């Protein structure tokens, strides 16, 4: 059994979630029965939640318009403040998954 967070590079990480998804294209016959399917548009979404270090009271928003590239597009960046625990930041990044290797 694994315990703790192994995938995050941040020492302050409280949680790390990785979701891998693909879209499915379906071929249906005249009766609406699926006769074939294929996947495309695979992506990986990573969400990390971590405590803010020391005296940090704000975050620099990384979820901005105009991002480009096949890796690490930031889709969500949030700050949580509560009166009974340390401030936390959460960041969600999406990247494209590689296609199958041609044989």
Query: What total number of domains does the chain contain?
Result: 1
In a domain, 102, yes or no: no
The average pLDDT across 60-76 equals: 74
7 occurs within a structural domain: no
Q: Are strands 85-96 and 13-28 parallel, antiparallel or unpaired?
A: unpaired
Question: Is residue 27 one of the residues assigned to a domain?
Answer: yes
Q: In the predicted model, is pLDDT for residue 73 greater than 90?
A: no
pLDDT of residue 66: 75
Residue 90: which H helix or E strand, with range?
strand 85-96
Asked if residue 83 belongs to a domain, the reply is yes
Residue 88 lies in a domain: yes
Per cent of the chain over pLDDT 70 is: 76
φ, ψ dihedrals at 76, nearest 5°: -155, 135
Tell me the C-alpha to C-alpha distance, in Å, between residue 51 and each of 38, 47, 61, 89, 90. 41, 14, 16, 6, 9
> Is 75 domain-assigned?
yes
**Is residue 39 situated within a structural domain?**
yes
Domain that holds residue 31: 13-96
Tokens 């949580």 map to which residue?
80
């Amino acid at each position: 059994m694994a315990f703790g967070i192994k995938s995050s590079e941040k020492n302050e990480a409280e949680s790390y979630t990785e979701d891998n998804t693909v879209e499915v294209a379906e071929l249906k016959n005249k009766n609406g029965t699926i006769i074939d399917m294929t996947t495309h548009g695979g992506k990986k979404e990573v969400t990390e939640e971590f405590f803010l270090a020391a005296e940090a009271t704000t975050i620099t928003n990384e979820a901005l318009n105009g991002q480009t590239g096949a890796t690490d597009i930031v889709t969500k960046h949030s700050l949580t403040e509560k009166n009974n625990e340390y401030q936390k930041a959460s960041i969600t990044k999406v990247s494209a998954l590689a296609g199958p290797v041609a044989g």
